[in-house]
Amino acid sequence: MKPMRKVEHVIVGAGLAGLVMARFLKDRNIALLDPSPFAYKIGESLIPELFRHPELAALLDDVRKLPSYTEKHGTTFVGHEEVACFPLASIESNISMHVFRSELEALFAARWRSPIERARMIGVDLDARVVHTDAGAISFSGQLIDCSGPAMTLASLLGEVRAIRPVHAAWRYHDVVSVDDDGYR
């Protein structure tokens, strides 16, 4: 049996939120857990606010070099009977983009040297301050921070959430090849 490791904070999920949290706790003893880092394969539409902080703004040049990087000029919503367009203000266009989440997360982790542990949280004892993973147990003295997004790993393990029904969302990116203002009446 492996000895229990002791850390100050445990972060569950190494997506954007978990990586940023780990970066801001960089001088602390943390465990950043994710069974499949960079597995989120869809593109991400990044809004300007993400890169306003200096820690993130410092990554912008590298983000623009990612293979999936594309400038974002606005958003178009297409419904059954209508289309709505929301252009971005020109001041925000230089920090608005589409990029694959997997590429962005890998860049953040590499540049920040994030210590991602490939482990799945399978249990938690909040009274004892212990997280159980498929790679062993971890004792924490500070915070247990769930950055697992819609998976809600901690809440699910505590029985605080339940699936009501499967939920699916879909979106896609289209190239604009021509504009016909008369077609949007």
- Residue 27 CA to residue 25 CA, distance in Å, equals 6
Q: Provide the pLDDT for residue 85.
A: 75
Question: Among residues 111, 105, 137, which one has the least CA distance to residue 10?
Answer: 137
Assign 133 to helix, strand or coil: strand
The span from the first CA to the last CA of the chain, in angstroms, equals: 69
**134 contacts: CB under 8 Å, gap ≥ 6:** 35, 119, 120, 122
Model pTM score = 0.79
As averages over each run of 10 residues, the pLDDT of the chain (185 residues) reads 87 94 92 91 64 88 90 75 75 72 92 95 96 96 93 91 70 64 60
Q: Provide the pLDDT for residue 149.
A: 85
Residue showing tokens 């820690």: 55
Q: Provide the pLDDT for residue 175.
A: 63
Q: Provide the pLDDT for residue 184.
A: 53
The alpha-helical segments, DSSP class H, found in the chain are 16-24, 54-57, 60-64, 101-112, 153-157
Assign 48 to helix, strand or coil: helix
Question: Among residues 129, 184, 124, which one has the least CA distance to residue 160?
Answer: 124
Query: What is the phi/psi pair of residue 78, to 5°?
Result: -115, 120
DSSP state of 92: G
Residue showing tokens 């498929």: 134
